[in-house]
């Protein structure tokens, strides 16, 4: 009877030892795996932080970059220009550039359009540009320049930006991205009209 009990206790001890041993062998690789994942996560965070810092440096460099040689100051602006120049397009559209006004933060252009074409025309579909002779293009505040058949439109176009101190002339283009042939095309609803080299009086 005693032998049976001793044998049972011995078997139980062996069983417990095996279970504990198996438990340790299974847990060890799990802990190692967790440590490895933790190390990868830290590395990814470092890389992400580095990328964010580099991007911040790039953004700062971009903000600190010079504005392409622009020269503006508190120097007095030129007198407003009474232009009154007229261009008649082969379509029958007549565009009159009446006046150019210079303000501290924008340039205003007064114009009149008379549409003698057989259908409506659009003067802004391919862009309206005001560029000075230094090559700087003033940002256009979009408006709808659609003129019906036999109709007339008058208005003022606003181009954002102070006139460059070095600028001596301006070029104003309607449907500026159209091909050169559209300046001579009598059958287009998107005529290209260019007022070239408008001299600035300083």
For every one of its 202 residues, what pLDDT tens digit does the chain have, with 9 covering 90 and above? 444 444 444 444 444 443 344 444 444 443 434 344 344 445 555 554 454 454 444 444 433 434 556 666 667 899 999 999 999 999 999 999 999 999 999 999 999 999 999 999 999 987 899 999 999 999 998 889 999 999 999 999 999 999 999 999 999 999 988 876 666 788 999 999 999 999 998 8
- pLDDT score, position 102: 97
- pLDDT score, position 115: 98
Write down the architecture of domain 81-199 according to CATH. Answer: Sandwich (2.60)
Cα 85-170-125 angle, rounded to 5 deg: 80
Q: Do residues 120 and 147 make contact, with C-beta atoms less than 8 angstroms apart?
A: yes
Give me the residue spans of the domains in the chain: 1-65, 81-199
- pLDDT score, position 75: 73
Q: Could you tell me which of 176, 30, 37, 159 has the C-alpha nearest to residue 102?
A: 159
Q: What is the rounded CA–CA span in Å between residue 126 and residue 189?
A: 11
24 burial (CB, 10 Å; 0-12 / 13-18 / 19+) is exposed
- pLDDT score, position 126: 73
């Amino acid at each position: 009877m005693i032998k049976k009990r001793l044998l049972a206790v011995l078997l139980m001890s062996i069983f417990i030892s095996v279970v504990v041993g198996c438990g340790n062998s299974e847990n060890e690789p799990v802990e190692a795996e967790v440590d490895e994942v933790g190390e990868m996560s830290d590395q990814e965070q470092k890389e992400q932080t580095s990328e964010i810092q580099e991007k911040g440096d790039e953004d700062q460099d971009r903000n600190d970059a010079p504005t392409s040689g622009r020269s503006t100051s508190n120097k007095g602006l030129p007198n407003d220009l009474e232009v009154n120049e007229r261009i008649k397009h082969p379509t029958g559209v007549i565009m009159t550039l009446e006046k150019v006004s210079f303000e501290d933060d924008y340039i205003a252009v007064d114009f009149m359009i008379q549409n003698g074409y057989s259908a409506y025309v659009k003067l802004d579909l391919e862009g309206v540009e005001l560029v000075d002779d230094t090559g700087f293009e003033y940002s256009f505040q979009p408006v709808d320049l659609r003129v019906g058949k036999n109709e007339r439109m008058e208005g003022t176009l606003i181009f954002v930006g102070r006139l460059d101190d070095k600028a001596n002339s301006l070029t104003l283009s309607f449907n500026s991205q159209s091909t050169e042939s559209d300046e001579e095309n009598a059958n287009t609803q998107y005529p290209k009209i260019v007022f070239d080299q408008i001299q600035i009086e300083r």
